[in-house]
Amino acid sequence: MTTLCIAGGTGQIGRLAARLAVEQGHEVTVFSRNPPLGAADSAAADDGVRYLRADATTGQGLAEALGGSDVVIDCLEGRSGNALKQYADAGARLLAAAAAAGVRRAVTLSIINCDASTAAFYASKAAKERVYAASGLETVTVRASQFHSLLADVFAAGAKVGLVPAIRGARFQSISPSEVARALLAEALAPSPAPAGQQHRTVTIAGPEIRTMRELAESWRRITGRKGLIVEFPLPGAMGDYLRKGLNLAPELRHGTETFESWLAKTPDSL
């Protein structure tokens, strides 16, 4: 049995990783700034996870959350405001607390080719990757392509006003969130210590298929039964450049078997 701490374990990937780890018989602590209501007051919630309140941007609660853990899986996000600005610094604070607690390995979730984009969110991911690479701990960065759920959310948001958006010329190699969670857990549980010269590793995973965004929009509409006119539009700026160059793709690094359609077929009621 391995003792795991999942930072940001109340988010989509963190929740999946925690559930998988508990199913495999591991001891799991999850921390976030806003743990489930009431769960932080008990030793373990109904799902077998111990929830604690902690904040990597300030350091509050990190020592308790990481105490006794063998490995930390970092699923923290910083999408806007101070969380975005302090994202890399929060990673450094988490790693320092992990080292002080005797954690032997830290695994972080990142985005495919984030260092090749100037978009603020992607640049923050790249900055955090550099923090992990420079850490004295054994660290692994798992870079993933865009999630199936991201595309589904975009389509659903547009459908509310009768339009299903598709970026003109954009292709995606989207991946199942559960397969990303499995990859993170596999890296967390891999044999230790790391091979000589591999104190830090970067692993890239992308989905099993490459499809245009319009094709994915058509599948989403058909499988969910939602209505809306598919509208293609150009995307300017850093994100448009990233997609036009195909930097979100890794044809040689296909991972998993769950396509966008098969994922949708399992979860249409939640979309």
Is 198 inside a domain boundary?
Answer: yes
Given this model, what pLDDT does residue 68 score?
A: 96
Tell me how far CA of residue 120 lies from CA of 57, 81, 136, 237, 258, in angstroms: 18, 11, 27, 11, 30
Residue owning tokens 């209501």: 37
Is 157 inside a domain boundary?
Answer: no
| Helix, coil or strand: residue 24 | coil
Given this model, what pLDDT does residue 41 score?
A: 52
Predicted confidence (pLDDT) at residue 38 exceeds the cutoff of 70 = no
Cα(203)–Cα(225) distance, rounded to whole angstroms?
36
Cα(176)–Cα(16) distance, rounded to whole angstroms?
11
Is 234 inside a domain boundary?
Answer: no
| Parent domain of 117 | 3-145+176-205
Question: What is the chain's alpha carbon radius of gyration, rounded to the nearest angstrom?
Answer: 19
Predicted confidence (pLDDT) at residue 89 exceeds the cutoff of 90 = yes
- Higher-confidence residue of 187 and 269: namely 187
The kind and range of the H/E element at 100 are: helix 87-100
Predicted confidence (pLDDT) at residue 146 exceeds the cutoff of 80 = yes
Query: Is the bond into 177 cis (omega within 30 degrees of 0)?
Result: no
CATH number of the domain enclosing 7: 3.40.50.720
Is 150 inside a domain boundary?
Answer: no
- 31-44 as b/e: b if 16+ CB within 10 A: bbbebeeebbeeee
Is 88 inside a domain boundary?
Answer: yes
Is 240 inside a domain boundary?
Answer: no
Cα(237)–Cα(243) distance, rounded to whole angstroms?
10
Given this model, what pLDDT does residue 44 score?
A: 64
Arithmetic mean of pLDDT, 190-210: 87
* Strand partners of residue 206: 254
User: What pTM was computed for the model?
Assistant: 0.94
Predicted confidence (pLDDT) at residue 268 exceeds the cutoff of 70 = no
* Average of per-residue pLDDT values in the chain: 93
Is 12 inside a domain boundary?
Answer: yes
Predicted confidence (pLDDT) at residue 220 exceeds the cutoff of 70 = yes
pLDDT digits (tens, 9 = 90+) for 241-261: 999 999 999 999 999 999 999
Is 222 inside a domain boundary?
Answer: no
- Higher-confidence residue of 270 and 105: namely 105
Given this model, what pLDDT does residue 191 score?
A: 87
Predicted confidence (pLDDT) at residue 269 exceeds the cutoff of 90 = no
Other beta carbons less than 10 A from residue 243's beta carbon: 21
127 pLDDT band, cuts 50/70/90, is very high
Give the total number of structural domains in the chain: 1
Tell me how far CA of residue 135 lies from CA of 111, 204, 224, in angstroms: 19, 20, 45
Predicted confidence (pLDDT) at residue 37 exceeds the cutoff of 70 = no
Given this model, what pLDDT does residue 36 score?
A: 85
